[in-house]
Chains A and B, each alone.
Chain A
Amino acid sequence: MIAMSGLTKRYGGVLAVDGASLEIPSGSVCGLLGRNGAGKTTTFKCLLGFAHPDAGDVRFDGAPLSTTTFAHIGYVPERPALYGWLTVDQHLEIARRSQPGYDPARASELVSLFRLDPRKKASKLSKGQQTALSLIFALVHRPSILLLDEPASGLDPVMQRVVLDLLIDAATSGAAILLSSHQIGQIDRASDRVAIMRDGKIVVSGELDALREAARIVEATFEGAVPSDVAAVPGVTRVEYAGSTVRVHADGRADAVAARFGAMGATGVRVLDRSLEDLFLDAVGEGSMD
């Protein structure tokens, strides 16, 4: 399990992470979303001890970060951090010498899966191949905690799918995974939880299905004017009027709200599901109900 509470990191006058709290249980993939500069990478740095938090607590499987924790952590940075002058094989040798849980069979399997030439120097690999090597480096000791900052950037769509499958497999085997990506489709496919950051704060977090359920919209059309008391219906949190049509957020009670609108004389009532992208745009303040 990955747990952070009240995580705060300030760089000079800039509050990069502002009291972020999140729990990711074992066997779960949590997608971390946010616009550029929202604080995602700084959160990863604080989790790994690369940056020293000004406040807050980080725990892995209940214990604070220590040297031994790294035997169970796999990390893929935003930009591949590789030794350009070393070959793929030499990178694996680093992992073999430094990770007690290094699994040579897993290493071979992953190198084949990503179709890397073991004798090729990292500087000669394409961006996608470098990302793949970073992923192999992170996965080769079968870690129980995975921290992945844009792990599929530069990969072609086929390899992106391979990566997501690997993550889902790892979660099925009990790993706790924090996955950051700008590609909402990837998060939607791989994650069962999501956290959305804005200005250093986690503004939305929870199980993806529950968040979707809570974000459903009810659209009702009335003959003539919309009744003035629609905003007072229990569960309605936000109302938009468009002539004789009203669209409301239903706070997880969409079906009940729809039934109530029907009772109020609506001639047509629809319950609209919302995509993760809609949730994200709402959370970062760029969304609308259209």
Chain B
Amino acid sequence: MQYVEVLRVRRVLLWFLGIVLGMVILSIVSTYAGTHGDIHAGGGTLHFADLVLGCVFGAWIVTTCVAPGLSNESALTAPIVWTRPLSRQQIAWRYVAVDVAAITLGYVALIAVAMLALAAFGALGIVVTEPRAGATFALGLGAAMMWYALVLLVSARIPARGGMIAGLSWAVFIAIGTLWAAPMPAPVHAVFGALNYLNPMAWIGGVSSASHHSVQHAVELPMPLQILGCWAIAAVAAVVAVRLWATREV
């Protein structure tokens, strides 16, 4: 039954990577055209972990594109999806597995495209690899999964509104982060601080190597706890979402 979701995420990934590659090619062409092929990488270094962290933005785009799938199934095509000889929970988890794979693939592919772009600009040498890149990837992916599961949860009982909820999630998460950072009375600040724990953007806010201890971050935990926190929220939200989806009426 996950066949439909495989086709759906394939379409999303093709569009996403097509646009990203197109942008990269366009910038390479325009750069080479402007410099007549005389490209020099600037000085300095780029930590691979920071590149991985930056690419999480792409994973979030893929996330918000694939997350509405399950919600739409129960609203629009339940006569197909819910009349298969499979339990609804099984069907839902298969969809989730496909979506998780797509988000991971999108994230990895974007990192690969970024490396290719650097190579094309002759700047691959500035990339510094370090062991924390793996943990950063785990955190970035965890934040994407958290985003995915929260959209799944909110849209589980709202028929055919998965797309709208996924789109609005960007505005909501940005607003929470912005309001938390804005000067506010302490109680209001505390409320947004608490809400930030459900904000995937906040979980990666303090990870960059360029960050300083003088800057306050929304979610400040040791890296392993931060990774665990993201994935745990994602797992709990997904379990509840699947249960709600599987027991809803149409």
Residues of A within 8 A of B (CB): 45, 48-52, 67-71, 73, 75-77, 81-83, 85-86, 90, 93-94, 97-100, 134, 137
30 A-B contact pairs sorted by A residue (CB < 8 Å): A45-B249, A45-B250, A48-B82, A49-B82, A50-B78, A50-B82, A50-B249, A50-B250, A52-B249, A67-B85, A67-B86, A67-B87, A68-B85, A70-B84, A73-B83, A75-B79, A76-B79, A82-B77, A83-B4, A83-B77, A86-B4, A86-B7, A90-B7, A94-B1, A97-B1, A97-B3, A98-B85, A99-B84, A99-B85, A100-B85
CB-CB < 8 A to A81: which residues of B?
Answer: 76-80
Q: Residues of A contacting B86 with CB < 8 Å?
A: 67, 70, 98
With a cutoff of 8 Å between Cβ atoms, the chain B residues found around residue A50 in the complex are 78, 82, 249-250
CA distance A90 to B4 in the complex (A): 9
Map CB proximity to A onto B1-36 as digits: 1 under 8 Å, 0 otherwise.
Answer: 101100100010000000000000000000000000
Chain B residues in 8 Å Cβ range of A90: 7
Cα distance, A85 to B82, chains bound together (Å): 19
User: Which residue from chain B places its CB closest to the CB of A50 in the assembled complex?
Assistant: B250
A94 touches B82 (CB 8 A): no
Write the nearest CB–CB distance from B86 to chain A, whole angstroms.
6
Q: Which one of A70, A75, A83 contacts B85 once the chains associate, using CB atoms below 8 Å?
A: A70
- When distances are taken between beta carbons in the complex, the residues of chain A under 8 Å from B7 are 86, 90
Shortest distance between the CB of B80 and any CB in chain A (Å): 6
Q: Identify the 8 closest CB pairs spanning chains A and B, nearest first.
A: A71-B85, A81-B79, A77-B79, A98-B84, A70-B85, A50-B250, A81-B77, A51-B249
Residue among A73, A82, A83, A99 facing the most chain B CB atoms (10 A cut-off): A83
In the bound complex, residues from chain B placing their C-beta under 8 Å from that of A70 are 83-86
Contacts of B82 in A (CB 8 A): 48-50
Among A52, A70, A134, residue most surrounded by chain B Cβ atoms (within 10 Å)? A70
A94 with B4: CB separation less than 8 A:
yes
Q: Tell me which of A48, A51, A86, A100 contacts B83 (CB under 8 A).
A: A48
A137 lies within 8 A of B250 (CB): no
| Nearest Cβ on chain B to A177's Cβ, whole angstroms | 16
The CA of A50 and the CA of B248, in the complex, are separated in Å by 8
Q: What size tier do the contact residues of chain B reach?
A: 10 to 19
- The answer to whether residues A137 and B3 also contact, given A50-B250, A70-B85 and a CB cut-off of 8 A, is no
What is the CA–CA distance of A221 and B19 in the complex, to the nearest angstrom?
85
Q: Which residues of A contact B83 (CB under 8 A)?
A: 48, 70, 73, 75
For the complex, give the distance between the alpha carbons of A90 and B77 in Å.
15
User: Given the known A-B contacts A70-B85, A83-B4, A100-B85, are A94 and B80 also in contact in the complex, defined by CB atoms under 8 Å?
Assistant: yes
Are A137's CB and B85's CB within 8 A?
Answer: no
Q: Which B residues from 49 to 100 make CB contacts under 8 A with A?
A: 76-80, 82-87
Listed residue (B7, B80, B83, B87) with the most chain A CB atoms within 10 angstroms of its CB: B83
Which residues of chain B have C-beta atoms less than 8 A from A98's C-beta? 1, 3, 84-86
Which residues of A have CB within 8 Å of B87? 67
Which residues from B are CB-within-8-Å of A100? 85
Q: Which residues of B contact A93 (CB under 8 A)?
A: 3
From residue B198, how far is it (CB to closest CB) to chain A in Å? 30
Residue with the greatest number of chain A CB neighbours at <10 A, chosen from B3, B79, B82: B79
The residues of B that contact A97 with a CB separation of less than 8 Å are 1, 3
Name the B residues within 8 Å of A69 (CB-CB): 85
Residues of A within 8 A of B79 (CB): 75-77, 81, 134
Assembled-state Cα–Cα distance A168/B76 (Å): 30
Known: A50-B82, A93-B3; 5 extra A-B contacts, CB below 8 A, are A67-B85, A81-B76, A94-B1, A98-B84, A134-B79
